[in-house]
Structure 1
Amino acid sequence: MRKALLPTLIIVTAGLLIIRLFYLQIIDDTFKLKSENNAIKIKYEYPERGYVYDRYGRLLIANQPSYDIMVIPKDVNEKELNIKKFCALLEITEDFYKEKMRKAKVFSPMLPSVFLSQLNKLEFAAFQEKIRRFSGFYIQKRSLRDYQVSYGANVFGFITQVNENIVKKNPYYIGGDLIGRQGIEESYETYLRGQKGVKYILKDKFNREIASYKEGKYDTVAKQGDDITLTIDGELQKYGEELMVNKWGGIVAIEPKTGEILALVSAPDYNPALLVGRKRSKNYTLLHNDSIAKPLYDRGLLAEYPPGSPFKILTALVALQEGVIDQNTSFNCNHGFSYARGRFMRCHCTGGAKRLNDGIYQSCNTYFSSIYMKTINKYNSPSYAVDVWSNHLKSFGLGDFMGYDLPIGKRGKIPTSKTYKRLYPGWHWDSKTIVSNAIGQGEVLMTPIQLANLMAAVANRGYYYTPHIVKKIKGELLDKKFRTKHVTSINRKHFEPVIEGMNAVYGPGGTASGLGLDGIEICGKTGTAENYLKVNGKRVKLQDHSIFVAFAPKVNPKIAIAVFVENGYWGKRWAGPITSLMIEKYLRKKITKVDFEKRMLEGSLKDQYNKLYPQKHQDSLSIMNSKIKDSIAKFKNGDDSKEEKKDSNKEEH
């Protein structure tokens, strides 16, 4: 047996090698294909990206043809190429030509690189007529986004070329490919991009194309990207952006029963068409360099603000759940709250005895500070008590990423015992030390989408669904995490008295009196958040932020909303009217509060911002937005290159 073992192993191994060689040489031609790649040209066929629709089927994003000039450096005969004429034809400089060729050679002398991207129809036609004179160059057809609307840039994102890191990490992409960045274009890239097709073409010794390799055996057909339907109401999104002109902040509206995002507004905004075509890079730089207005910064998802008085809703719910009060527990307000030696928190309510309902609709600081301290003082250990309180808040999705289907976000901040051990090392802190949490100041921070989701949970009497912006993808089921109900730690019965107080906010004596809508019962809460900035190491108080949260109708709610206006004074002044208008626009599809509408559409906080920040920031946006309609028209007609030259001397950054 031992003598036979070695010969047997040799025979079996040899047999396997012979079988493998037979398979590779006779059956599987892929290695042969690779070995012959010097004589084979690979052509890619790029599919159209998927179309994007709003929740009612209105087309938001389509596609338009675009053309890239590709170059294979080893095939360029620079002795015969008249560089001056070539550059004049494409309206580029010789330095630009040299730099592009250098980069292409570094990437690969043998493989195609993008030399000039996103030519329009006229530029393509002019080059196509003379392309035979320029060996090594060819046209690659692609599609660019064609925005049917001028709103929603923060929702959509944009398309840009892949960088080297992406090419290294993802074998699907090659140099010059386009990829989605920000918004749904990034989150749903693998659905929207489709699948590019590949053709292998034989070349002769003179580098001429002669036939398909193996009669197209290895060729693949491009597959168009999947269409996507968003949860966004296009008209509501547009209206929200119009209301926020000359204001900074965010609006987030959610359908409570599903978690579907109805509107996601960030102001200031920009027209998405600015980031399409050959002007994309210049426009992006202009937007990016505006470090004050920050048009590329999605305030609805990224801005962390003190929530102010809307947070009192949570203070009440936790106190009810912890059993330290009931709806009839009262506290006396002397137009403020004394909570430590020499420490006094002012209150703008009418004063006197306050119960839960009064506390909510009059926004009494004394009431909420008192019930917060009772919540913390319920336990012997302030550290333990703060963690109990914090866990209740986290059950609403606060203090963490929301898990929605957009690629950016911030956690906000819900303090725990660890927070205060770090802030007050070696010091005995207690409920008086941290009482400002009661009214949404202190160490609490929330994003507008977290505030809107809080309203959805209150509207549902204790549960919410993870907010999401895609309603359906052709042939795909919505991700399970968006169909999973999240139940808060607050008993359903405790929501009713709080909701009654929120409804009374719109009544006589309420902080939102006069903002109601006839025939629609709204439950809301005004907010005014203090706003500080460090200047030269000193803490300087700026104009307060205007905040409003609400849901409607009171029974069977259809919309939950949060509005945040930076430096907007108090809640009723700006955020409150905008909230009422957004609710009516969604529920009735028309506006009856025309006085509100006129005041909000024409109202401006530019003077307030100009006091706080240098004047010159303002006009990266206004320059581009004033030109955008002409630019879009000329781009579609093939004349954006001239427009680019006219505008170039107006850049400020």
Structure 2
Amino acid sequence: MRKALLPALITIATLLLVVRIFYLQVVDETLKLKSENNAIKKKYEYPERGYIYDRNGKLLVANQASYDIMVIPREVKNTDTLEFCQLLNITKEDFIKKIEKATVYSPRLPSVFLSQLNKNEFAAFQEKIRKYEGFYFQKRSLRDYEVNFGANIFGFITQVNEKLIEKNPYYNSGDLIGKQGVEQSYENLLRGIKGVKYLQKDKHNREIGSYKSGKYDTIAVQGQDINLTIDAEIQKYGEELMINKRGGIVAIEPKSGEILALVTAPSYDPGILVGRQRSKNYTQLYRDSIAKPLYDRGLLAEYPPGSPFKILTGLVALQEGVIDYNTTVFCNRGFSYARGRFMGCHCHGGALQLHRGIFESCNSYFATAYMKTINKYAKPAYAVDVWSNHLKSFGLGQFMGYDLPIGKRGLVPTSKTYKRMYPNGGWRSTAIVSNAIGQGEVLMTPIQLANMMATVANEGYYYTPHIIKKIEGIPIESKFTTKHTTTIDKKFFKPIISGLFDVYNLGTARGLRVEGIEICGKTGTAENFTKIGGVRVKMEDHSIFVAFAPMNNPKIAIAVMVENGGYGATIAGPIASLMIEKYLRHKITRVDLEKRILATSLQGRYAKLGGLSETVKLQLKIADSLQKLKTGTPKKVLLTTDTIKEKKLASQSNEKPKYNK
């Protein structure tokens, strides 16, 4: 038996090899196709990318025809370079550089010589393309933006680089790919599937027809259309309210986690990153290191949360049982602690309980609640980790898992944080009491602040924020429909919500009420420090406001952060009220607030902080470029918070602001 085993194995293996070789050589002709590659030309047919709609079916992003001039370097012969360059409006030096670059990639394979020509630019060249051996055109589709807002949401389309081509065999030189925003997150769906045609060539390298009568040809499949959760109306409105300001606005539907608005300021018209001027325009935006229009402050900017953090301080203290609704704290316009140290407070003072502590935003009350939370346990390190774990159950201190390609964790300090800060130990609650009012080591992004308010509105749970609402025939990922429950009991949210409601009726936002809408909110003024010449310098405070509405059936939760905006009720608060009314009613009754915010510019303050933004220059330069894009008619103008008025404002930077804190 053993003697027969080895010959049997050899026989079986030999039979398998023979069958495989027969299949590859006789049955399967794909290897033959590859072996005949020198006589066969691949021609790709590029599909349209999927369209992008908002939550209500409004078309945001479509497509327009575009043409790439392709080159196969070794086939370029007898070219009238001067005429060729004149037709395409390039210099001879450009011609030589592009040919050299294509040759480095491959002398035998096609490369993009000149990309993204519109119909007008391509028309003149099309008539004479047969004169230029080695050149042909490839039709593609470029994005056609139907709106001039939401650039940070959409992202943009750009050519793939060589590293990506090496990693992903789907892409070839000159192919387009989505970068940033939903274009990147949903690239595999939006791009569709390329079609391929195999064309046979004769010995003179001329096309003589389809290979094998098109047996191996495939047709292009258009990309999937997608609906975003964004409400186009309030997204546009939010960007208008943030003109001449810097910061972010994030609005979320509490019951679903759907992102209704994701505003970053300054922003730009997405249409300027389409066409032959795309690279030049992108470079100018990228180099604006002052205003940073490519930096999505709603997702990336980490700020001290200020007074809105008192909501969490109160909830954790209630959960830990160190305070209740009737716990009374006396405030003498501040809180004394640790050998004469004093934390100032702007409330009216006197004896306060939880409800009044919230709507008057009393530092003394929440500093006391925080210290009781930490002092509950014998070891401060353990206590901080208990506190930290409560905060993390709100999605803080971590990537939130939303469906956009960028983000920051924020910071929720733990015992490890303070072991690094105090390597010799000895720290206790008095050393970290600033956390109580959102001014310690805690950092949050605007989307985390908005999600915090959505969680409070839901009385203890949230859904992972997301920007995709519908993809035809494809279910939404389950992680976006999975409920996340906090460590705080539901019963503790009611008194907090009651206090937030009276912020609008009796407290710091009473001047921001909208008749007929029950809004719960919290003002915030976060201290802002920077280093100048190695010295820590206090700058103008950030203006923060968080809210949700209506109180009993929340449909929108929102966070507004305005850099160097001063008190929360000055700029961020009015913006939140206006955004809420716009979403719920589709109109504005607080016209007084609207006029004031639209007229408010902080460019004078920003000029003091670090010079003028390069985006002003970009706006002037791009105005002419937009005239020539697409059909040659201007469709939109650049939308940016750094307007032409910036230079004038900078010259007036020594004037006092025209509004009061």
TM-score higher than 0.5:
yes
Q: Secondary structure at the match of 2:510?
A: coil
Question: What do residues 533-575 of structure 1 show as CA deviations (whole Å, max 9, x unaligned)?
Answer: 0011100110000000000000010000000000001100000
Q: Which residue number corresponds to residue 166 of structure 1?
A: 164
Q: Which residue of 2 aligns with 1:646?
A: none
The answer to whether structure 1 residue 37 and structure 2 residue 37 are counterparts is yes
4+ residue runs over 3 A deviation: 1-18, 630-634
Partner of residue 383, structure 1: 381
Post-superposition shift, 1:10? 5.8
Instruction: Kindly report which structure 2 residues correspond to 1:336-375, keeping only aligned pairs within 5 A, or say none.
Output: 336-375=334-373
In structure 2, what is the equivalent of residue 26 of structure 1?
26
Q: Which amino acid aligns with 1:255?
A: E
Moved more, 454-463 or 93-102: 93-102
| 1-structure distance, mates of 2:393, 2:592 | 40
Q: Which residue identity lines up with residue 513 of structure 1 in the other structure?
A: R
CA deviations 1:453-486 (Å, max 9, x no partner) are 0000000000000000010111100000000000
Question: What corresponds to 2:542 in structure 1?
Answer: 545
Residues 345-366 of structure 1 deviation map (CA, whole Å, 9 limit, x = unaligned)? 1101111001101110001000
Aligned match of 1:311: 309
The one-letter code of the counterpart of 2:193 is Q
Alpha-carbon shift at residue 17 of structure 1 (Å)? 3.6
The gaps in structure 1 that reach 5 residues or longer are 644-649
SS for the counterpart of 2:127 is: helix
Matched residue, 1:457: 455
For 1:184-263, list aligned pairs within 5 A.
Answer: 184-263=182-261
SS of alignment partner, residue 456 of structure 2:
helix
Any conservation in 2 of the 1:236–1:586 contact (CA below 8 Å)? yes
Alignment of 1:71-150 (within 5 A): 71-77=71-77, 80-150=78-148
Verify: 1:637 aligned to 2:631, yes or no.
Answer: yes
One-letter code of the match for 1:136?
G
CA distance in 1, matches of 2:120, 2:131: 19
> What is the rounded CA distance, in whole Å, between the counterparts of 1:548 and 1:253 in structure 2?
12
CA–CA distance in 1 between the matches of 2:21 and 2:293? Answer: 60
Cα 1:21–1:263, aligned 2, differ >3 Å: closer, same or farther? same
In 1, are the aligned partners of 2:328 and 2:354 still within 8 Å (CA)? yes
Query: Which residue does 2:651 correspond to in 1?
Result: none
In 2: Cα distance, 1:471 partner to 1:639 partner: 33
**Structure 2 Cα separation of the partners of residues 3 and 491 of structure 1:** 74
Q: 1:616 to 1:261 in 2, by over 3 A?
A: closer
Q: Distance in 2 between matches of 1:338 and 1:491?
A: 31
Distance 1:624 1:442 in 2: 43
Is 1:584–2:578 an aligned residue pair? no
Residues 491 and 616 of structure 1: CA distance in aligned 2, closer, same or farther (over 3 Å):
closer
State the match for 1:647 in structure 2: none
Give distance in 2, aligned partners of 1:248 and 1:368.
29
Match of 1:519 among 512, 516, 519: 516
Shift of 1:206: 1.3
Q: Residue 347 of structure 2 aligns to a residue in which SS?
A: coil
- Looking at structure 2, the residues matched to 514 and 313 of structure 1 have their Cα atoms a distance apart, in angstroms, of 21
| Cα shift readout 1:229-279 (whole Å, capped 9, x = no counterpart) | 000000100000000000000000000000000000000000000100000
Structure 2: gaps (5+ residues): 638-643, 648-661
TM-score, scaled to structure 2: 0.94
Structure 1 residue 342, shift from structure 2 partner: 2.6
Q: Is the 8 A contact 2:277 2:625 kept in 1?
A: no
1:611-626 map, 5 Å:
611-615=608-612, 617-623=614-620
**Offset of 1:16 from its aligned partner?**
3.5
On the 8 A contact 2:160/2:174 being kept in 1, the answer is yes
- Give the C-alpha shift of residue 616 in structure 1: 5.3
Once the 2 structures are TM-superposed, how far is the Cα of residue 82 of structure 1 from its aligned partner?
A: 1.4
SS at match of 2:56: coil
Residues 1:47 and 2:47 are matched in the alignment? yes
Task: Name the SS of the counterpart of 1:160 in structure 2.
Answer: strand
Letter in 2 for 1:297: Y
TM-score scaled by structure 1? 0.95
Amino acid paired to 2:30: T
Letter in 1 for 2:237: Y
Q: Is contact 1:252–1:448 with CA below 8 Å preserved after alignment?
A: yes
Q: Is the 8 A contact 2:544 2:561 kept in 1?
A: yes
Per-residue deviation, 1:6: 6.8
State how far apart, in whole Å, the 1-side matches of 2:541 and 2:44 are.
55
Summarize deviations over 1:316-337 as a string: whole Å, max 9, x none: 0000000001011011000011
1:608 aligns with 2:605: yes
Which SS does the other structure have where 1:314 is aligned? helix
The change in CA–CA distance for 1:599 and 1:14 in structure 2 (over 3 A counts) is same
The residue type paired with residue 523 of structure 2 is: T
For residue 329 of structure 1, what is the amino acid of its counterpart?
Answer: T
Shift of 1:19: 2.5
SS in 2 for 1:514: helix
Residues 80-112 of structure 1, C-alpha deviations (whole Å, 9 max, x = no match)? 111121111111111111111111111111111
Question: Aligned with 1:505: secondary structure?
Answer: helix
